[in-house]
Amino acid sequence: MGIVDKKNLKVAVSDAETADRSVPLSEIAFRTIRQKILRGEIAPGEKLRIEVLQREHSLSSSPLREALNRLVAEGLVTSDDHRGFRAANMSASDLNDITSYRLVIEPAAVAQSVVNGTDEWEGHVVAAFHRLERVDAKVAQNQNEMNDEWTQRHKDFHMALVSAASSSRIVAACSSLFDHAERYRRFSLMNRTKPRNTAAEHRQLMEAAVGRQAELAAALLKEHIQLTAQNVLEIQLPKAGR
């Protein structure tokens, strides 16, 4: 069984505590375990043993159980009385479910943003795009690189696009769905053989958004999401853990 990297985990906990010592221990554990699941550092189906996590986090069982139960509610961890906690498995049906929901929510959100967005929103979109563009060249040199900076800037750009949507719940749903899809994108990045020009896709999205072309921006985002799912489905997904 792969376990959470002790050195990296302690650094993450230390950094979080340094940034804000008022953050509850359960929140620190939640953020750290969640991030490692999304990155693929905790494998799909991997058992999350409380006693192991206690040693790795230097925490008691209560904050860890609270963190794991929150991850269960989010769908990133599963639980039952007999088998305990596990990282959620990955499957074609799950990806299709995530994708179907994204295709409903995210294009609608970007269309709303294009209509509602102020000059400040427009500047936010352009700035997020340029921050992403600056790291695109580095990632393009190594398509298998697990680049956390690119991942964060990628999400920042997508969230900037939808940030002027009329409903805060829609924006929150976009954020959650993006994170669930990120597990699959990471897996695809490590295993795909066909190149993909995501930089050009992102530029088209930015230009449609700031050009106030709501229908075009929605259509481009749909295509962007569908291509991600298509690339993943062409690869054999990891088998369920035992």
Share of the chain above pLDDT 70, in %: 83
What is the pLDDT, as a whole number, of residue 60? Answer: 86
Best CA proximity match to 224, nearest among 208, 209, 204: 204
Judgement on whether residues 65 and 106 belong to the same structural domain of the protein? no
Judgement on whether residues 104 and 180 belong to the same structural domain of the protein? yes
Q: Residue 118 is encoded by which pair of tokens?
A: 């102020």
Q: Report the mean per-residue pLDDT for the chain.
A: 85
Q: How far apart are CA 39 and CA 162, in angstroms?
A: 23
What are the backbone dihedrals phi and psi of residue 82, each rounded to the nearest 5 degrees, phi first?
Answer: -95, -30
Within the chain, strands assigned E span 77-80, 84-87
Question: Looking at the domain assignment, is residue 226 inside a domain?
Answer: yes
Judgement on whether residues 110 and 187 belong to the same structural domain of the protein? yes
What is the pLDDT, as a whole number, of residue 145? Answer: 56
Residue after which a domain boundary falls, among 65, 87, 109? 87
**Domain count for the chain:** 2
Q: Domain range holding 154? A: 92-233
Judgement on whether residues 61 and 116 belong to the same structural domain of the protein? no
Question: Looking at the domain assignment, is residue 238 inside a domain?
Answer: no
This prediction's pTM: 0.80
What is the pLDDT, as a whole number, of residue 233? Answer: 87
Identity of residue 40:
G
Best CA proximity match to 125, nearest among 63, 210, 186: 210
What confidence tens digit (pLDDT) does each residue in 190-217 have?
A: 666 666 788 899 999 999 999 999 999 9
What is the pLDDT, as a whole number, of residue 9? Answer: 45
More confident residue, 30 or 58: 30
What is the pLDDT, as a whole number, of residue 21? Answer: 63
Q: Residue 153 is encoded by which pair of tokens?
A: 């800037």
pLDDT at 8 > cutoff 50: no
What confidence tens digit (pLDDT) does each residue in 47-100 have?
A: 999 999 988 878 888 999 999 999 999 999 999 777 789 999 999 999 999 999
**Which residues, in sequence order, are bridge partners of residue 47?**
86
Angle CA(205)–CA(142)–CA(98) in degrees, nearest 5?
50
Judgement on whether residues 71 and 151 belong to the same structural domain of the protein? no
Residue after which a domain boundary falls, among 44, 72, 87? 87
What is the pLDDT, as a whole number, of residue 241? Answer: 52
Judgement on whether residues 122 and 183 belong to the same structural domain of the protein? yes
Judgement on whether residues 191 and 111 belong to the same structural domain of the protein? yes
Q: If you search the block for the tokens 């690869």, which residue do you land on?
A: 235
What confidence tens digit (pLDDT) does each residue in 114-151 have?
A: 999 999 999 999 999 999 998 887 766 665 455 778 88
pLDDT at 111 > cutoff 90: yes
| CATH number of the domain where residue 185 is located | 1.20.120.530
